[in-house]
Amino acid sequence: MKKILVVGGGAVGQVYGWMLRRAGAEIYFYLKPEHKEEARRGFNLSWLSRYSKPRPIHFIKFRTITSPEEVASHQWDQIYLTISSVALRAPWLETFAAAATKTPIIVSLQPGIHDAEYLLRYFSESQLVFSMVPFMAFASPAGNAFYFPPVAVAPVSGPASLAKEVVSILKSGGFPAKYDKLATTKRIAFVNAALIVFVTALENSDWSLKKLGQRESLEKLALAIRQISRCIGREFQLPIPWSMRMVSPWSLKFLTILAPRLVPFDLEAYLKAHFTKVGDQTRLMMEDYIRLGRDLALPTDCLPPVRPSGKLTG
């Protein structure tokens, strides 16, 4: 039985932990001390589907630890970092990494363009595996609800043997994942950037897809995605993916109409709740994009600036 540590007990961490437990792993959560007592009661989850009723889950088969000393006292097979890019940069990481130095696989799910570079300060390249979260999760009366959109699959990259080991155990638990040697953090950066720019534009439209769907807003959004794609391509010396090149006001209009019909919940309410909760991460990423454009002398004028208060303006 593999021993796996999940760092973070939020909705994302709970879903990863439960699915890894389904695969037969022994699961521990690394939590802040103040969250340990609540976690002892277990986590309530709700697996959503477009075609059937929600599946209630009471996840109790796990243990919790709260200190680097406890981390060092175990030999972990894998560690999953299920926290935000902002939380990753807190002082705790240095002592945690020292305690986990013998762990062969560290799985990073952070979306920021500099997160991999930051992690390399504390872990070796031979340990790190990178992926992205392929599901939506949010608080509901039944607990943390989660939903995998149609054909959603998490790309997993890194040293081939380690990445394939991660894919194997995830798939054993019913989690859609695939090894993709081309899906490096640099390539995934294009997708994450498009998402963050889209969310920022939606927030500026008062979280209304209908308002965002106006022609002027979509034209500016399409230009913003092209601009940030060009910046990322230049920074990482990569060709811009065809999916980013194909972005247009018409394709974005289609997305704003189709997307709400593909999920069994209020998409606008979810996006507002989730990205307000992780707003510090969104602001960090937008600031990074604007700074990147400035450093590369490339235009980012279609990206909304970020105020110190965190409010975004067009």
Domains of the chain: 3-179 (3.40.50.720), 185-296 (no CATH)
45 CB-contact burial (10 Å; exposed 0-12 / middle 13-18 / buried 19+)? buried
- Helices 185-204 & 215-236 angle (0-180, nearest 10): 160
Quote the CA–CA distance of 28 and 103 in Å, as a whole number: 14
Q: What is the 3-state secondary structure (H, E, C) of 191-222?
A: HHHHHHHHHHHHHHCCCCHHHHCCHHHHHHHH
Q: What is the pLDDT of residue 87?
A: 95
**What percent of the chain shows pLDDT beyond 70?**
96
Write out pLDDT tens, residues 100-144. 999 999 999 999 999 999 999 999 999 999 999 999 999 999 899
Write out pLDDT tens, residues 241-256. 999 999 999 999 999 9
Instruction: Please say if the pLDDT value at position 86 is more than 70.
Output: yes
Instruction: Please say if the pLDDT value at position 313 is more than 60.
Output: no
This prediction has a pTM of 0.93
Confidence band of 181 (pLDDT split at 50, 70, 90): confident
Q: What is the pLDDT of residue 311?
A: 45
Instruction: Please say if the pLDDT value at position 307 is more than 70.
Output: no
More confident residue, 151 or 135: 135
CA angle 111, 281, 237 (to 5 degrees): 40
Quote the CA–CA distance of 289 and 295 in Å, as a whole number: 10
Contact 173, 27 (CB under 8 A): no
Q: What is the pLDDT of residue 186?
A: 79
Confidence band of 150 (pLDDT split at 50, 70, 90): confident
Any residues with CB less than 8 A from the CB of 246 and at least 6 apart, and which? Answer: none
Instruction: Please say if the pLDDT value at position 299 is more than 60.
Output: yes
Quote the CA–CA distance of 98 and 122 in Å, as a whole number: 8
**What percent of the chain shows pLDDT beyond 90?**
90
Instruction: Please say if the pLDDT value at position 308 is more than 70.
Output: no
Instruction: Please say if the pLDDT value at position 286 is more than 80.
Output: yes
The residue behind tokens 């013998």 is 102
Q: What is the mean pLDDT of the chain?
A: 93
Calculate mean pLDDT across residues 195-203.
95
Write out pLDDT tens, residues 212-225. 999 999 999 999 99
